[in-house]
Amino acid sequence: MQKFKVIGLLAVLIAVIAPLWAALSDKFGLTTGAVALICAGLYVANGMVLKNGLKITLGFLVGNMWAYFAFQGIGMFAEPLGDYMAMFLVLACFALVAVFIACYLDKIFDLSAWLAGWAITLTLLPGVAEDGQLTLLLHVGIAMVAGVWLIGVLITSTHKFLITRKKAG
């Protein structure tokens, strides 16, 4: 029964806080609310460890910018190389560099968050006009931070607090 209460409390917190963000983010003009849910999920999959929150966040944000530069690079090389070859070469080079940087600076960046942030933004960029791309990066970045901190950390911290309080009381 105790396990059911712990899981039930976590389920209720996730069922309230995550959809609350998804619904309210649109009211603030952020059309990327779902990105926060993905980022919160990666925080949870990483073990819900508060001390990793910053490096996960930095990984997402660098991945977000990484996608923008990769997207620009693909555009630059598409004419001489063709779309598919440009995409392959640019993404391969960016992946290689990202892995080396994140692995050597693993106390600063979480590689899984970097790659996920890169993939999220690369998925969204093609549907946006060039003059709206930087705005998209800002919106995605805000959603990434919200996902890790407002959803991931808030839910897990609240959950731990309530579980600890119940055990003490």
Domain ranges of the chain: 2-168
Query: DSSP letter string over 115-150?
Result: HHHHHHHHHHGGGS-GGGHHHHHHHHHHHHHIIIII
pTM above 0.75, yes or no: yes
Identity of residue 134: L
**Per-residue pLDDT, 166:** 66
3-state helix, strand, coil in the chain (%, to 5): 90, 0, 10
In whole angstroms, give the CA distance from residue 143 to residue 33. Answer: 6
**Furthest C-alpha separation in the chain:** 69
How does pLDDT run along the chain (169 residues), one tens digit per residue?
A: 577 777 888 888 888 888 888 888 888 888 888 899 899 999 989 988 899 999 999 999 999 999 999 999 999 999 989 999 999 999 999 999 999 999 999 999 999 999 999 999 999 999 899 999 999 999 999 999 999 998 889 888 888 888 887 666 5
CB 163 within 8 A of CB 67: no
**Per-residue pLDDT, 27:** 85
Here the tokens at position 70 are 């990769």
